[in-house]
Amino acid sequence: MLTVAGRGVPRRPFPYVFRQRQTFMIEFGHGTHAGLRRTRNEDTYYADASLGLFLVLDGMGGHRHGEVAAAVARDGVVEQVNSGQSLADAIRLVNEQLISRSRGLSEQRPMGTTIAAVRIDNGSFEAAWVGDSRIYRFDSQLEQLSHDHSLVEALVNAGELTEAEARSHPQRNVLTQALGITAPGQLHIGLCRGTLAPGMRLLLCTDGLTDEVNEARVAGIVSRTDIAAQECVDHLLLEALSGTARDNITAILVRAAT
């Protein structure tokens, strides 16, 4: 059974469509699953079309620390954006809050999370990310907007690994940036902006999906126009679960109306 872990996002009948500020129609689907090897789901997400805010987070730390870090970061970004902060400023503030909270823990375990965030406002979008949770745009073809903050991505950029080698590298999940772990002065927030044209899709997901389902198959699912966005997300999760599903899996698909 597919389960939902978000706030303000109960299951509703298809289609899940909102007219943002009465000027722009979007439909979205969302879902998360613990996977087949994990007993706890440290992923979380938030989806609110009226605010135009969509977040996917992948916590890390074990012993519930990852679960707590992801939830604290999620709620903190929502609060900051609601108060008028930009995505980047909201993420910076949340990073500082998580670091401060970690200092109060008796255990010396890391308490961190990735984040992939999209804010839509009147047909334009802003994307921000830290870590290896990803943001894709589909507009006739699938394009990765985010860039992984990971060891293998750094090695690929340095010419020391090929893309093919990176996909199977034993350290492919080692991060170089994470909220709650990276010092404020060293935090690098990936950013991009664009226009959400009619028919375009934005996909936010954790590495539990991208490690299991190749981009060609992801593109084939998100490109479908015969099913609702929620059904597309359900298909993505089921596709990941048909493999090893070693990690938690989370995805949000935002689709602009044609």
Domains (range + CATH), the chain: 17-148+177-256 (3.60.40.10)
pLDDT at position 165 is 62
SS3 (DSSP) at 215:
helix
pLDDT at position 2 is 39
Q: What is the mean pLDDT of residues 176-184?
A: 95
pLDDT at position 12 is 37
**Confidence tier at 164 by pLDDT (50, 70, 90):** low
> Which one has a higher pLDDT value, 233 or 154?
233
Report residue 220 as tokens: 């084939």
For the ranges 76-90, 99-113, 235-249, the lowest mean pLDDT is seen at: 99-113
Question: Can you state the percent helix, strand and coil of the chain, rounding each to 5?
Answer: 30, 30, 40
First to last CA, the chain: 31
Q: By percentage, how much of the chain surpasses pLDDT 70? A: 83
Distance CA 52, CA 50 (A): 5
For the ranges 23-27, 99-103, 236-240, the lowest mean pLDDT is seen at: 23-27
pLDDT at position 101 is 85
pLDDT at position 54 is 98
pTM of the model: 0.88
C-alpha angle 147-197-84 in degrees, rounded to nearest 5: 65
Q: What is the mean pLDDT of residues 212-217?
A: 96
Q: Which residues, in sequence order, are CB contacts of 69 under 8 Å at separation 6+?
A: 59, 60, 61, 98, 111, 112, 113, 179, 180
Which of 31, 107, 9, 10 lies closest to 66 in space, CA to CA?
107
